[in-house]
Amino acid sequence: MTRFALTLEFDGTPFFGLQRQSHGPSVQQSVEDALHRITGEAVVMHSAGRTDAGVHALAMRSHVDIEKLFDPFRLMAALNAQLRPEPISVTHCEVVPDDWHARFSCTGRRYIYRIANRRAPLTLMRDKAWHVPQPLDADAMHRAAQALVGRHDFTTFRSVHCQAADPVKSLDLLDVEKVATEWGEEIHIHAAARSFLHHQVRSMVGCLKLVGAGTWPEARMAEALEARDRNALGLNAPPHGLYFVEATYPDSREEKQ
């Protein structure tokens, strides 16, 4: 039995999320079905994180155990061939130790949320960013975001369906920047932590949007956090602007993938 670490890039638009679902297509099901066609084995994929329906990934880390012998490069090529035309790409594949686990060995996760801040509707970037036509104050959003950095009870920013045992998390980074792109002006929100609660990033972004639009004063973010009450949440951002960017591991070699 050989354990392979995979790095996945995917467009989450047609999927009900990364994890296998009973009621619709998922990234996990697509990869596992492709592996079954290649190996004839019932392979189970484990990943560094879960994503909601419509959420994208630039470099999701996953692992699979396969009995047959495969060269990592050939396995990657075979997987990409079998996955076409689905919007999933394996960008890296390597053999890892048997005790390496994509989820439990992971020491950090990083996301980016993209807001397309322009008046014109989105065409090429449709379903790839949250379209907000009114101007947003990125500096005010960044200042408000700093109230959430650190170790806190994030109950306000947690889905009612979250299965985590503890709402206390340590948020390492929550930065907001204005970026000029070929599609127009964007607001990028960068979030990093060892782990996140269900909907935490989207909930934080939704409230930051209210600050940027002037609907909330900057101090309202700290007040919402201190309320520890989902009813204090102002807005949950839509999933299609969210991207899983990176999973980090103790081995520096993994962190470079």
| Residues annotated as part of the active site | 52
Phi/psi for 57 (5° steps) reads -140, 135
Report the C-alpha gap between 48 and 35 in whole angstroms: 19
Q: Where are the alpha helices (DSSP H) in the chain?
A: 27-39, 72-83, 138-145, 200-212, 219-227, 252-255
- At 38, which amino acid appears? I
- The candidate with the shortest Cα–Cα distance to 172, out of 200, 199, 198, is 200
Phi/psi for 176 (5° steps) reads -125, 130
The tokens of 18 are what?
A: 């990364």
Angle at 202 between CA 213 and CA 196, to 5 degrees: 140
Q: Where are the alpha helices (DSSP H) in 49-171?
A: 72-83, 138-145
